[in-house]
Amino acid sequence: MPEKTADKVELPEATGAASEATAPEAGTPASAKARSLWSDAWHDLRRNPLFLISAVLIVLLIVMAAAPSLFTSASPRDADLAKHYLQPPNWGHFFAPDWFGYDGQGRSIYARVIYGARASILVGVGVTLAVTVLGTLVGMVAGYFGGLVDTLLSRVTDIFMGIPYLLGALVILTTFAERKVWVVILAMAFLGWTTIARVARGAVVTIKQADYVVAAKALGASTTRVLLRHILPNALAPIIVVATIALGGYIAAEATLSFLGVGLAEPTVSWGVDVSAGRQQLRNAPYVLIVPSVMVSVTVLSFLMFGDAVRNALDPKLR
């Protein structure tokens, strides 16, 4: 009997020892919060110099496009042939109308560079938003429903992908007598949605087999709710990456079309329009061509660097 009592007395000691062994150490949090994909990506982006540099440049370009009067008081359309015809740059006058010189019509190149950001960035952002919405919609419908719907939409996507992008946009734009910003956006978006459609379809095909999607269907959730509340948020990461990288390409495509004379045209102030006009003065005044060309290159490079940084942060394989 005394032995049994001793056993019972030792039991609490063993339990207490086990509790002490499993108790968290002092100074450590009781439970660590798991970060989501987006918070984890933001944590990496804040420490990426490539992202910080590109983000600063993009913010500067957006402010320039939204409020050009903050950077110059000169008008991009004021011309004085007698006084400013092909006047060379005055590098000592920073942010002055003659900083980059004057073009063949006596207009300030600096003022035109500042005001030209609006049209170029507006076209790039507008086309990106249009192709993202259209491509995501087509890809989600094709990937979710599958079968005949997937086959039809995939073949339509293949047909559009078979059309050369710049050549198709050139043919479409030549049918319009007046090519404003919204005309260029629609023409480029009409042919540019295919890549995002394929990316969205692939993401939806993978996500729709997940347990939480199957559970939502079993609980009676409607198709719209499943697509918008469960599939779309988890398919956004690759779509955002492709759209961000493509934005710079759309700005370059607009400049190319304007250079060929089928994109934006006077009196619209655009970098592509200025590049097209500057080729005539390449021998006499190369700065007329070089300055807007450098702006196009810097803008495209900024969005490409931004897209690469976002891709590296959102892709677990690359991280």
pLDDT tens, 102-151? 988 889 999 999 999 999 899 999 999 999 999 999 999 999 998 899 99
Judge whether residue 287 has pLDDT over 60: yes
Listed range (71-75, 179-183, 293-297, 315-319) with the worst mean pLDDT: 315-319
Judge whether residue 210 has pLDDT over 90: no
pLDDT tens, 44-96? 888 888 889 999 999 999 999 999 999 988 889 888 888 888 888 888 778 88
Q: What is the pTM of this model?
A: 0.81
Task: Please state, for a pLDDT cut of 90, what percent of the chain lies above it.
Answer: 44
Q: How confident is the model at residue 21 (pLDDT cuts 50, 70, 90)?
A: very low
3-state secondary structure the chain: CHHHHHHHHHHHHHHHHHHHHHCCCCCCCCCCCCCCHHHHHHHHHCCCHHHHHHHHHHHHHHHHHHCHHHCCCCCCCCCCHHHHCCCCCCCCCCCCCCCCCECCCCCEHHHHHHHHHHHHHHHHHHHHHHHHHHHHHHHHHHHHHCHHHHHHHHHHHHHHHCCCHHHHHHHHHCCCCCCCHHHHHHHHHHHHCHHHHHHHHHHHHHHCCCHHHHHHHHCCCCHHHHHHHHHHHHHHHHHHHHHHHHHHHHHHHHHHHHHCCCCCCCCCCCHHHHHHHHHHHCCCCCHHHHHHHHHHHHHHHHHHHHHHHHHHHHCCCCC
**Which of 23-32, 84-93, 222-231 has the highest average model confidence (pLDDT)?**
222-231
